[in-house]
Amino acid sequence: MNKIVLITGATSGIGLGCARKFADNGDKLILTARNETRLTEIQKELTERGTKVITLAFDVRDREKAKQCLNELPEEWQEIDVLVNNAGLALGLEPEHEGNFDDWETMIDTNIKGLLTMTRLIVPGMVKRNRGHIINIGSVAGDAAYAGGNVYCATKAAVKTLTDGLRIDVADTAIRVTNLKPGLVETNFSNIRFKGDNERAAKVYTGIKPLTGDDIADVAVYAANAPAHVQIAEVLILATHQASGSVIVRK
**Catalytic residue (one of 146, 152, 205, 222):** 152
Q: What are phi and psi of 104, to 5 degrees?
A: -60, -45
Helix axes of 36-48 and 13-24: crossing angle, nearest 10 degrees: 20
Amino acid residing at 129: R
Which residues does 79 contact at the CB level (< 8 Å), separation at least 6?
4, 125, 129
C-alpha–C-alpha distance, residues 144 and 48, integer Å: 42
Total length of the chain: 251
Could you give the CA distance from residue 237 to residue 50 in angstroms, rounded to a whole number?
A: 30
**Does 152 participate in catalysis according to the annotation?**
yes
Supply φ then ψ for residue 158, to 5 degrees.
-65, -40
Catalytic residues: 152
